[in-house]
Amino acid sequence: MKQDAYLFDTHALIFWTNKTSVSEEFVRFFDRQAQQGVLHVSSISFWEIAFLVQKGKLAIPDIHAWKNELLSQTNIRLIDPSAAEMIDSTLLPHLHKDPFDRLLIAQAKYNNLILVTQDQTIQAYDIPQIWL
């Protein structure tokens, strides 16, 4: 039996790492998934986080150090978008205008991952999703 694997939406990654705006159940569940090596984050999430820091919407003094510590302290897997995923993100139904989210949807589809999100617009897409 294949174990489920997960892809964090950017906000889910931030909430999980900061242990804010999520339940203890959420943190415990995804801590276990990370330990089992089935939790993924897209490299584009770090790009989106850098934009949030630049705009003053998020306070992370050193994004490189934060990313490096996260990846070295957990079994979370970093995935890079492929050219096919980038192209297919533009071919999705035009429900969501955010290119970051559209690319995460395409990556979740290509990699058979369950997208961890509470984004209401993403929930309109036909992909497996979860939020605890």
pLDDT in tens, 5-60: 999 999 999 999 999 999 999 999 999 999 999 999 999 999 999 999 999 999 99
Question: Considering the domain boundaries, does residue 47 fall inside one?
Answer: yes
> Distance between alpha carbon 13 and the CA centroid of its chain, in Å?
6
Residue span of the structural domain in which 32 resides: 6-130
CA dist 113 and 130 (Å) reads 11
pLDDT band with cut points at 50, 70 and 90 for residue 2: low
Q: How confident is the model at residue 101, as a pLDDT?
A: 94
- What is the CATH classification number for the domain harbouring 86? 3.40.50.1010
pLDDT digits (tens, 9 = 90+) for 86-129: 999 999 998 988 999 999 999 999 999 999 999 999 989 999 99
pLDDT band with cut points at 50, 70 and 90 for residue 1: low
If DSSP codes are grouped into helix, strand and coil, which group holds residue 130? Answer: strand
State the total domains in the chain. 1
Question: Considering the domain boundaries, does residue 99 fall inside one?
Answer: yes
Question: Residue 124 in contact with residue 95, Cβ under 8 Å?
Answer: yes
pLDDT band with cut points at 50, 70 and 90 for residue 132: confident
Residue in the structure block whose two tokens are 């617009």: 121
CA dist 84 and 126 (Å) reads 18
Q: Tally DSSP H helices, then E strands, for the chain.
A: 6, 5
pTM of the predicted model as reported, rounded to 2 decimal places: 0.93
Q: How confident is the model at residue 3, as a pLDDT?
A: 77
CA dist 22 and 73 (Å) reads 20
Q: How confident is the model at residue 93, as a pLDDT?
A: 92
Question: Considering the domain boundaries, does residue 15 fall inside one?
Answer: yes
- Which residues make beta-bridge pairs with 116? 8, 130
Token pair of 93 as six digits: 């139904």
Question: Considering the domain boundaries, does residue 1 fall inside one?
Answer: no
Question: Considering the domain boundaries, does residue 106 fall inside one?
Answer: yes
